[in-house]
Amino acid sequence: MKKALKRFVKIRFQTKVEQHDHTDTNDFTTRGEIFHKGSQDYLRFEEAIPGFEKVQTTMKWDGHELMLIRQGTVLMRQAFVAGERTLGRYVTQEASWETEAITEKVLVQWPRGKTRGRIEICYQFLLQGQETGRHYVRLTLEEE
């Protein structure tokens, strides 16, 4: 089996969550790696989640579904498919919750050479059936 060729990227990770008349934002820069395995592309990096230690995050893209997998002090698995409602799970040391994403937009453009790429997701998110707001996620990727 051929080993996956890894490319290193600089990532700017931006999130905005709008709930009623309140907006939360998070913005950080990190390094990660992109690789292709089987019929899927992967992006792996460490994520700084406020209130938690760093979490290893993997985004898996098959051309239709973007799967978000977090491992560490937070465990999470959530699929995003434009125009669809998908179930997932969010787990901390204290509890485990069912999640649901109603995805409006998924855009994935991988960087080629020294060009930039991006990942954008817009979705409504529910935790145990309770709406947590509209989430906007944008990752800007630049190959090193």
Q: What is the pLDDT of residues 59-104, one digit of tens each?
A: 999 999 999 999 998 899 999 999 999 999 999 889 999 999 999 9
| Residue 130 pLDDT greater than 80, yes or no | yes
Q: What distance lies between CA 139 and its chain's CA centroid?
A: 8
Query: What's the CA gap between 140 and 60, in Å, rounded?
Result: 16
Query: What's the CA gap between 67 and 59, in Å, rounded?
Result: 6
Instruction: Identify the bridge partners of residue 44 per DSSP, sorted by sequence position.
Output: 33, 58
Q: What distance lies between CA 20 and its chain's CA centroid?
A: 23
The structural domains of the chain, ordered by start, are 7-18+27-138 (2.40.128.20)
Instruction: Identify the bridge partners of residue 119 per DSSP, sorted by sequence position.
Output: 108, 139
Using a pLDDT cut of 70, give the percent of the chain over it: 93
Unique residue bearing structure tokens 């999640």:
99
| Residue 113 pLDDT greater than 90, yes or no | no
